[in-house]
């Protein structure tokens, strides 16, 4: 009697890596400002990202969560964001936001896929979707910057049409 042989299954080519920024890309930063108390809006005027708890108050941008889920099916997808240095609650609030809006169990497309860094350029990738060029995006050496909110990537439908054809 012979033992069954393990059959290697070809997983196919690896998925391309995609990073997606949070603030003003999948998260509507202005919605958090609107929910601050009047006192906090006055106190943190001009530096709202330092307001404790602000990152827990924000809504998703229209279409962002569905787009994230679709992209996670065909790309190796991560959230790459910066948390303000002078706002310790931001680090926790961003994690809790991801869990609340994208799920917190192993079946979530964002499970353990949150990277917080002040130097985004240190993370190598095929694509990054970001509304800005700050925090190292302008120094990107590998991959393509999809500049969210600007032509031709004004909406998540625009981004999906572009990226899904390149997965």
pLDDT tens digits, residue range 77-96? 999 999 999 999 999 999 99
Q: What is the pLDDT of residues 148-158, one digit of tens each?
A: 999 999 999 99
Say whether 158 is catalytic.
no
Domains (range + CATH), the chain: 17-28+59-164 (3.40.50.1000)
Q: Which of 6, 10, 23, 62 is labelled catalytic?
A: 23
What distance lies between CA 144 and its chain's CA centroid? 15
pLDDT mean values, one per 10 residues, the chain (167 residues): 66 88 96 97 96 96 98 97 94 97 96 91 84 61 83 97 95
Given this model, what pLDDT does residue 2 score?
A: 60
Q: 28 by DSSP, 3-state: which?
A: strand
Catalytic pick from 6, 10, 21, 151? 21
Per the annotation, the verdict on 23 as an active-site residue is yes
On the question of a cis peptide bond just before residue 10, with omega within 30 degrees of 0, the verdict is no
């Amino acid at each position: 009697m012979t033992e069954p042989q393990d059959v290697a299954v070809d997983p196919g080519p690896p998925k391309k890596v995609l990073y997606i920024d949070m603030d003003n890309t999948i998260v509507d930063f202005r919605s958090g400002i609107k929910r601050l108390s009047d006192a906090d809006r006055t106190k943190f005027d001009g530096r709202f990202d330092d307001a404790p708890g602000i990152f827990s108050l924000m809504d998703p941008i229209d279409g962002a969560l569905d787009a994230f889920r679709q992209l996670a099916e065909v790309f190796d997808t991560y959230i790459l964001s910066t948390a303000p240095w002078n706002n310790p609650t931001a680090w926790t609030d961003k994690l809790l936001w991801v869990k609340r809006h994208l799920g917190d169990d192993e079946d979530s497309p964002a499970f353990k896929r949150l990277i917080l860094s002040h130097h985004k350029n240190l993370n190598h990738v095929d694509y990054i979707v970001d509304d800005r060029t700050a925090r190292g995006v302008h120094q990107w050496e590998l991959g393509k910057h999809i500049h969210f909110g600007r032509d031709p990537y004004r909406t998540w439908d625009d981004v999906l049409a572009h990226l899904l054809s390149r997965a």
